[in-house]
Amino acid sequence: MKQHLIVLDLDGTLLTDTKTISPYTKDILSKARQAGHQVMIATGRPFRASQLYYNELALTTPIVNFNGALVHHPRNKAWDAMHSPIAMSVVHDVVDSIHKYEYNNLIAEVMDDVYLHNDNDELMNILNMGNPRVTMGNLKFNLLEDPTSLLIQSSESNVPIIRQHLHDVHAELIEHRRWGAPFHIVEIVRKGLNKAVGISKVAHEFNIPRDRIIAFGDEDNDLEMIDYAGIGVAMNNGIQELKSIANEITLSNNEDGIGKFLEDRLKL
């Protein structure tokens, strides 16, 4: 069988609800690699929060982090990495414009450094993964370089309002996504970035055409990737919008949806 590029979202897709990779799916992914296929991760997480799974799968491929704002090769520093941060002027405009809305916190990430506007123990439990350098305090004074991503934490009811404002006022400069439950967070990256941009770069490096890309996802940050891939697969636990554009729907993240699909499709 010809070489395929297998692209894995993490949360709600590769990872079970306990944030682990099931032994069965891990074994199938290993068999896929032994059969000559390429396996990679494409996630909204920073690398520090995805490295554990990258290493667990013993991957040797590039990885897409921050929903496409960072595409790099953890095992090859000479690889042509792509880091596309948000201009500081845009960050200031966004922060100034949302002050009239109710929000709980602002978080900026510069690669693996974290800048937190207000102290928040719940958020720190997530952001501390990988032991980043954390700076606390007003972003206007502490954030001195263009961030890879900007996060806005708000109440569940205010997230759609903030997203509508971002769409109406800043659509030409940024992309924004909503995190899945239980966190009510809007994630912002530079305009034109998404997971599909990252995997297209990697697929080109491997000389694998779109029709041999199999991508798995569950949330709205997977929409472009699932649409781009020749075989876009939505998890059964995924959002309806993603299922409606996917080529296939597999079992949920807790039912080895990835493993069962690949075993059948690639005859592993």
Tell me which of 99 and 35 has the higher pLDDT.
35
| Local structure of residue 255 (DSSP, 8 states) | T
The answer on 166 and 33 residing in a single domain is no
* Residues contacting residue 227 through CB under 8 Å, at least 6 positions apart: 196, 245
The answer on 248 and 231 residing in a single domain is yes
Q: How many domains does the chain have?
A: 2
The answer on 249 and 159 residing in a single domain is no
pLDDT at 125 over 80: no
Residue 248's pLDDT band (boundaries 50, 70, 90)?
Answer: very high
Rounded to whole angstroms, what are the CA distances from 230 to 47, 181, 192, 227, 246?
26, 29, 21, 8, 10
pLDDT at 147 over 80: yes
What is the CATH classification number for the domain harbouring 135?
3.30.1240.10
pLDDT at 55 over 80: yes
The answer on 102 and 75 residing in a single domain is no
pLDDT, residue 99, reads 80
pLDDT, residue 95, reads 87
Distance CA 264, CA 235 (A): 16
Of 136, 169, 190, which residue is a domain's last? 190
Of 167, 190, 213, which residue is a domain's last? 190
Rounded to whole angstroms, what are the CA distances from 71 to 48, 184, 197?
13, 26, 9
pLDDT, residue 46, reads 94
pLDDT at 24 over 90: yes
pLDDT at 43 over 80: yes
Of 138, 159, 190, which residue is a domain's last? 190
Token pair belonging to 78: 């000479």
The answer on 156 and 93 residing in a single domain is yes
The answer on 163 and 95 residing in a single domain is yes
Share of the chain above pLDDT 90, in %: 78
Highest mean pLDDT (candidates 16-25, 87-96, 119-128): 16-25
The answer on 29 and 14 residing in a single domain is yes
The answer on 72 and 115 residing in a single domain is no
Among 9, 11, 218, 256, which one carries the catalytic annotation?
9
pLDDT at 98 over 90: no
* Residues contacting residue 235 through CB under 8 Å, at least 6 positions apart: 12, 13, 216, 217, 218, 249, 250, 251, 252, 253, 257
The answer on 51 and 30 residing in a single domain is yes
The answer on 199 and 76 residing in a single domain is yes
The answer on 205 and 75 residing in a single domain is yes
The answer on 92 and 49 residing in a single domain is no
Full residue range of the structural domain in which residue 123 is found: 88-190
CA angle, residues 227, 232, 182, in degrees to nearest 5:
85
Distance CA 175, CA 169 (A): 12
Residue 184's pLDDT band (boundaries 50, 70, 90)?
Answer: confident
pLDDT, residue 215, reads 98
What is the CATH classification number for the domain harbouring 36?
3.40.50.1000
9 catalytic per annotation: yes
